[in-house]
Every structure is written in C-alpha cells, then in structure tokens.
A and B are shown apart, each in its own frame.
Chain A
Amino acid sequence: DQQVKQNSPSLSVQEGRISILNCDYTNSMFDYFLWYKKYPAEGPTFLISISSIKDKNEDGRFTVFLNKSAKHLSLHIVPSQPGDSAVYFCAASRLLQGAQKLVFGQGTRLTINP
C-alpha cells in the first residue's frame, strides 16, 4: 500500500523557469509533510516542510503548497537553476509513539537544462 505517491518519475525544465513537483497521499492522518533533495552518493537533504494547519510555506526559491481536501502537495522551485538537478522525495508523517516517522514517495528526478 503506497501511502505517498509521486507519479512523475522524471521532469525536465529549462533553466530560469518554474519547476513543479507533485505528490499525493492517501492517509488522512498525516499531519506534517516534507520535501527532500538527493544527489547521487549522498543522503537526502531536507528542503522545506509544511504542517497540515497551513496551505503554503515559502523559503527563498522553494514554496510548498498543501491541498488537504485533495490530499495533494506540490513543490515549486522558481527560478530553476542547474544545481537543482537531483532526485526529489516528498515525505509525510504523523505522530506515532512519540516519533515523527517518515513515509516517502518514490521520488522524481528533476533535470534543469541550461
């Protein structure tokens, strides 16, 4: 049962344009959502998060939008830069046994073309 889904395995965007990465979830108990970026041979790097009580969170070039009714979140990167080329994972969590356990999507490989 895939509780967090990223339906696009890859995305190619021109440098300077907007990159939009999408993520859907099925478990309405999730209360916290995160995006991670991963380069080859490195661990995931935390990018940005959003609580279920908000619908938008912004940090520099990165904005995450949450649509709870649709169980959908998206990450907007603008403007896109070549260094943004990486695999992006969305993750969701709920407070269980005192721990914020993360459930990850399958990832989307973003390529920024010069």
Chain B
Amino acid sequence: SAVISQKPSRDICQRGTSLTIQCQVDSQVTMMFWYRQQPGQSLTLIATANQGSEATYESGFVIDKFPISRPNLTFSTLTVSNMSPEDSSIYLCSVGHAGGEQYFGPGTRLTVT
C-alpha cells in the first residue's frame, strides 16, 4: 500500500479565512480522493481528483468552497475557503488501488473559531 502524508496535521483558523491542505503520496497514483469527517459523523466524499483533469465534486460540495489541485501523480491540495465553524472537521485524502480499496492519509484536524 502507498504511504500518504498530509500537512498540516491540525490547525485552528479564524472564520472567513482559507486553509490549504496538502497530500503527498510516495508513489504515482491515478485516483486521489478527498473526504471530510465532521465531529461524530462518518466519512463523506468531497471530490475525486484525477491528474490532468478537473476534480469531480459530490452533491453538496462546490469548487468555489473546496478548490482542489492535482498538479502531478503524487500530490494534491484541498483548500477550504471562507471558513465557518461548520467547516470544523477532519479532512482526509486517499488513493485508489487497482483492487478497489483505498488507502488513507492520517488526516488534517481543522478547527474554525
């Protein structure tokens, strides 16, 4: 399985500001995914990020709020824009494996005050 790192591991941000989360993989992967886990909730897919194409967003998530970059096959960023306290969550990136499973990074714990 791939080794996935995320930066930052946690942050406390003021409302109205933006935070960019980085996801780095130790091998080239085609599919990368971004998830959110709100407090006490399950993991929810935000978007699928393929290298060289626009990210595909799930219902309820929009590019203006969660812009994603995928400049190469080992790296992606998710920006949480114009943050509000409701954006306080754990944000996770994952990579898809040929067998269908996904492997996750350690997550970024975001608190918006």
Report which of A41, A46, A51, A101 forms a contact with B103, defined as CB distance below 8 A.
A46
Interface residues on A, range: 20 to 34
When the two chains form their complex, are residues B102 and A43 in contact, meaning their CB atoms are under 8 A apart? no
When the two chains form their complex, are residues A102 and B42 in contact, meaning their CB atoms are under 8 A apart? no
Q: Does B101 contact A (CB under 8 A)?
A: yes
Query: What chain A residues lie within 8 Å of B39 (beta carbons)?
Result: none
When the two chains form their complex, are residues A100 and B103 in contact, meaning their CB atoms are under 8 A apart? no
Closest B residue, CB atoms, query A51 = B100
When the two chains form their complex, are residues A102 and B102 in contact, meaning their CB atoms are under 8 A apart? yes
- Provide 5 A-B residue pairs closer than 8 Å at the C-beta atoms, listed in order of the A residue: A43-B92, A43-B94, A44-B43, A102-B102, A107-B42
Binding site for B on A (CB under 8 A): 32, 34, 36, 41-46, 49, 51, 89, 91, 93, 97, 99-107
